[in-house]
Structure 1
Amino acid sequence: MEKLLREKGLKVTKGRLEVLKILQQARVPMCAMDVFNETPRAISASLSTVYRILNQLTEAGILQVSLEQEESTYYEMKGDHHHYIVCARCGKLAPIDDCPIDALDEHIMRATGYAITGHRFQLEGICPDCLKK
């Protein structure tokens, strides 16, 4: 991770390394509050610091915004190309295994000449647990 930060022109700090470690180990995207709650207070004592680090790492192309839900932005490591369905009741995330947009990207690139650099796709629904209630 240290090498990656340096390659992107960022100073190696304990906070940046911890945020990267947390997101690299995460099974689903995380919002700033989730990352803050996992970060030892000795490394990052404030939520605003976590927000700043997430924004810096996203601008540097190390992280990507994967979804937005209830006024929260969720982050994951860049290159982890995933899409999710989100329960509208409890907020639980479930990954969508295959990207349903890749074929559409190809069609749009051929039709417009644009080089598509990314996309976001998010579905909302009610999870099986909430449907049982």
Structure 2
Amino acid sequence: MKLTRPRRDILNLYEKIDHPLNAEEIYNLLNNEYDLSTIYRNLNFFEKENILKSIVFSDKITYYYKPKGHYHFIYCIKCKKFERLNLCFEKQFKEYIEKNIDFKITDHILYFEGICSECQKEGDKNA
């Protein structure tokens, strides 16, 4: 893999940030130094090379994250904030699925969508 300047800069972001980012967030965090097409092209390259993974939520925005073990988080559908969860029930789910469904698990991601406490408070103020 040729490590171009845009690729290096994108990967450096993921060394500092431990939650998924979309292309526009990366664009802004890199101070608009690269055009969005360059960002998207490199994100797609990283995903193809299994350096990053992507996930799409109900808002239809694609977020990319660096897989560090398995990933669990909550996602606010209003402010788009992520919070990582350090709880995992992988062993129980894996045993059940492999035993009862005859399905070999190779990876997993678990997330919950909802409304964070800050957005709930904002909603209460506007009600």
Do both proteins adopt the same fold according to a TM-score greater than 0.5, normalized to the shorter chain? yes
- Report which stretch shifted further, 12-21 or 67-76: 67-76
**C-alpha distance 102-13 of structure 1, shift in aligned 2 (>3 A):** farther
Q: What TM-score, normalized to structure 2? A: 0.80
Q: CA, structure 1 residues 94+119, in 2 after alignment: closer, same or farther (shift >3 Å)? A: same
Identical pairs, percent: 30
Deviation at 1:126, TM superposition (A): 1.8
Amino acid at match of 2:116: C
**1:1-133 to 2 correspondences below 5 Å:** 10-39=1-30, 41-42=32-33, 44=34, 46-66=35-55, 68-133=57-122
Q: Could you state the TM-score of these two structures normalised by the residue count of structure 1?
A: 0.77
Unaligned segments of structure 2, at least 5 residues: 123-127
Aligned 8 A contact 1:30 1:74 in 2: yes
Q: Which moved more, 1:95-104 or 1:24-33?
A: 95-104
- Secondary structure in structure 2 of the residue aligned to 1:121: strand
1:109-132: CA deviation from partner (whole Å, max 9, x where unpaired): 233443312223221222111222
| Contact in 1 for aligned 2:55/2:64 (Cα 8 Å) | yes
Point out the more displaced range, 22-31 or 74-83. Answer: 74-83
Distance across 2 between alignment mates of 1:108 and 1:69 = 26
Deviation at 1:29, TM superposition (A): 1.2
Q: What is the root-mean-square deviation in Å for CA atoms of aligned residues?
A: 2.1
1:81 is displaced (CA, Å) by 2.4
Could you tell me whether the CA contact under 8 Å between 2:70 and 2:108 is conserved in 1?
no
Aligned residues: 122
Letter in 1 for 2:14: L
Runs of 4+ in 1 over 4 A off after TM superposition: none
Offset at residue 20 of structure 1 (A): 0.6
